[in-house]
Amino acid sequence: MGLYHPVTIGSLTLRGNLFLAPVAGYTDRAFRSVCIEQGADFTYTELVSSEALTRNTAKTACAALLARGENEEHYAIQLFGSNPEVMYRAALLLAPYHPDAVDINAGCPVPKVVKTGAGSALMAAPDTLGRIVQGVVRASREVLGEVPVTVKLRSGWTAEELTYRTCARIAADAGAAMVCLHPRTRDQGYAGKSDWSLIADLVSRIDLPVAGSGDLFRPEDAERMLRETGCTAVMFARGAMGNPFIFSATKSFLKNGSWQPPETPERLRIAFTQLIFLAQEKGERTACREMRKQFCAYTKGHLGGPGCPGGAAVRNRLVHAETIEEYREILKPLGLP
């Protein structure tokens, strides 16, 4: 079997093993849609608060986070929380969205998540994580058609407390169908380097598919992670921000041994497509404001390709754009089709 191959997660079979990680503030439905267009095999929603979802006053706000994109054949909803009963009730509420998997966040290092006992705080509370997995698996059996439940882990809370083995084993015993490991501790945040040897170690220790994440910015990174660790799939996070082309480039590299960075007009076309998707969903004014940071990322250049001509000046104009037409006027001279 080559490094690019189908993946089976419980009852779910995917055509390939290149995944888009859940990233708060980025992996909305519009961005997931362009990643699918560029070859992502599986996508995850932004992390959704179980506490918010189970409060009637917040359900409407959560709906936009939960909805499937029109071109998403398969997608997962990621939940975060620290209360097993609340996570169970939140998972029950996912039935109208028909997700293909439910993911449990035990990796987010952001203080506002961790202080609630959720995210990577669960790496220091493996028994609680086990009860959460049990609850979400029970909800899946009751109302979701037994879709697989997966778990996103960090390596531990601190370098002295590497609990990924224990947490993965407990998650597997509780019914998880896959784990993803980002081999940094909570203390590291996104600093330093991720230790891919921990992914290889976990692959050797559990009888579940293991997805790897961390420091995946180029096709060569994905190839090396798959080859060195034996992980089943790779999950792009920061490496995909403003760079959905990482999926098509990586797929080409894994299948053919070569790839080409996108030209500036193609980068701008995809960015503008994302803007239109988002405007249809949230309205032009909101979309234009939310896309400012995305366009800044798109125009910086990725995968060895150059950034847009006069990139700094362009970005200075983009962060003040209020309408789709303003974006068009800024980008047309740079090659927007």
pLDDT in tens, 97-118: 999 999 999 999 999 999 999 9
Question: Does 108 qualify as catalytic in the annotation?
Answer: yes
Query: Does 83 share its domain with 213?
Result: yes
Contact 168, 125 (CB under 8 A): no
Write down the pLDDT at residue 304: 54
Residue 226 sits in the same domain as residue 320: no
DSSP 191: -
Residue 248 domain-assigned (yes or no): yes
Percent of the chain having pLDDT more than 70? 95
* 231 and 100 belong to one structural domain: yes
Find the mean pLDDT for residues 71-92: 97
User: Quick one: 76 and 198 in the same domain?
Assistant: yes
Among 192, 222, 256, which residue terminates a domain?
256
Query: What φ, ψ does residue 173 adopt, rounded to 5°?
Result: -65, -30
Number of folded domains that form the chain: 2
- Same structural domain, 86 and 123: yes
Residue 104 lies in a domain: yes
Residues 73 and 135 in one domain: yes
Task: Let me know whether 139 and 215 are in one domain.
Answer: yes
Q: Report angle CA 45, 87, 290 to the nearest 5 degrees.
A: 30
Same domain assignment for residues 90 and 198: yes
How much of the chain, in percent, has pLDDT values that exceed 90?
A: 73
In this predicted structure, which of 61-70, 87-96, 249-258 has the lowest mean pLDDT? 61-70
- Please tell me the distance from the alpha carbon of residue 299 to that of residue 306, in angstroms, as a whole number: 9
What's the pTM? Answer: 0.93
Active-site residue, selected from the candidate residues 35, 62, 108, 288? 108
2 domain-assigned: no
Whether residue 271 sits in one domain with residue 239: no
210 domain residue, yes or no: yes
Of 256, 284, 307, the domain-final residue: 256
Q: Does 208 share its domain with 77? A: yes
Does residue 145 form part of some domain?
A: yes
Neighbour-count burial for 251-285, b at 16+ CB within 10 Å, e otherwise: bbbbeeeebebbebeebbbbbbebbebbbebbebe
Which one of 256, 288, 320 terminates a domain?
256
pLDDT above 90: residue 142: yes
The residue-averaged pLDDT of 145-168 equals 95
- The reply to whether 139 and 94 lie within a common domain is yes
Q: Are residues 207 and 304 in the same domain?
A: no
- Where in the sequence is the domain holding 110, given as residue range(s)? 7-256
